[in-house]
Structure 1
Amino acid sequence: MRFPAFLALPLLLMLAQPGLAQTGTAAAAKAPVTLDELFDKLQETQNPIEAKQLERKIWEAWGKSDSDTLEALMQGGVTVMEKGDYKRAVDIFSAVIELKPDFAEGYNKRATVRFLAGDYAGSVADIERTLQLEPRHFGALAGLAMIMERLDNLPEALRAYRRALAANPHLADGPEKLKELRRRIDAKTL
């Protein structure tokens, strides 16, 4: 049976209208992906390019505060941090935290600044709060591992790197870092 030609143009116009043709899988593909789904995909993928894209999307999701004011403060804090004005950056991220105490990325950014400023105790406190709010925060876990390494607490560094890799098995140099830490721990115990 042939499709009548006089119906083809109206059908094509209807399909071209946004929303009218989106049913089933097409509509589902447009639905926002949750953080849990991103982490599931990150665990499943074997493709390094897809892993980097998923990592980027996770970082973007962590950075969303649902507030233009907070996002402007976050961007300002990052800019100030990149310029090396750590005191001012800490103040900005502290303001973010005061405005939204359940925003994990505010604590993570302040932890980063404190780490750069050499305030390891302050950084660890912010990392702990970040992880209370987002236990899968592989960036905070990797930061904790770096601090523990600098403090020569290699068993804790190893534990933090393992947790970071459990959250994101695609972390750059992750397996090599684990081997290096195990080697250093073994050398200390001899």
Structure 2
Amino acid sequence: EAYVNHGILYFEIEDYEKAINNFTKASEIDSTRPEVYMNLAQAYYSYGDVANALKNLQKVLELQPDRKLVNFQIGQILEQQGKIEEAIQAYKREIAINPEHATSYFNLAVLLHKQGKLEEAIQLYQKFVELAPKDDKRVERVKAVLSKLTKVN
């Protein structure tokens, strides 16, 4: 537990190497705690090591397959890497686990829209508007996009 606490402190002051070292020690002591691997993933991502961030997110899913937001984070990383098909699958997995997560619908809709899969994108944009907080700046933009798309179809 001390290693986790030290890791969090180092993460908060942006000393990612020391955070990674402490979280790694914590994972060696107890390899069954998904939150340790979440912390490792965040530290690696902040450090710029997306390969190890992904590896640790996968470890979280091995330990806790239905943990919310892990597939979402995987999707974001894969999308940044240009691995669009893999990102699409990650967002779909997140929606299956976490059907109230508006941003997963939004991100998936954008990717499918770019691929020209308009019917599916429209449904996902509509679900996003339904779930998103009304003060979310994306809602009005999505409504405008939906208006254009539904006229086209």
Determine if the alignment matches structure 1 residue 118 to structure 2 residue 16.
no
Post-superposition Cα deviations, 1:64-101, rounded to whole Å, max 9, x if no partner, equal xxxxxx2x432332232122111011011101101101
- The answer to whether the 8 Å contact 1:89/1:113 transfers is yes
Matches within 5 A, 1:1-190: 70=1, 72-186=2-116
- The answer to whether the 8 Å contact 1:144/1:157 transfers is yes
- Rounded to whole Å, the distance in 2 between the matches of 1:164 and 1:177 is 11
Q: Percent identity?
A: 26
- Number of aligned residue pairs: give it: 117
- Rounded to whole Å, the distance in 2 between the matches of 1:79 and 1:186 is 45
5+ long unaligned stretches in structure 2: 118-153
- The answer to whether the 8 Å contact 2:68/2:94 transfers is yes
Post-superposition Cα deviations, 1:129-178, rounded to whole Å, max 9, x if no partner, equal 11111111222211111110110111111111111121111224222111
Which structure is higher in RCO with an 8 Å CA cutoff and minimum separation 6? 1
Change (3 A) 1:174 1:122: same
- The answer to whether the 8 Å contact 1:141/1:160 transfers is yes
Q: TM-score, normalised by structure 2?
A: 0.70
Change (3 A) 1:156 1:78: same
Larger Rg: 1
RMSD: 1.7
Q: TM-score, normalised by structure 1?
A: 0.57
- Rounded to whole Å, the distance in 2 between the matches of 1:106 and 1:159 is 25
Change (3 A) 1:82 1:171: farther
Which amino acid letter does the alignment assign opposite residue 126 of structure 1? N
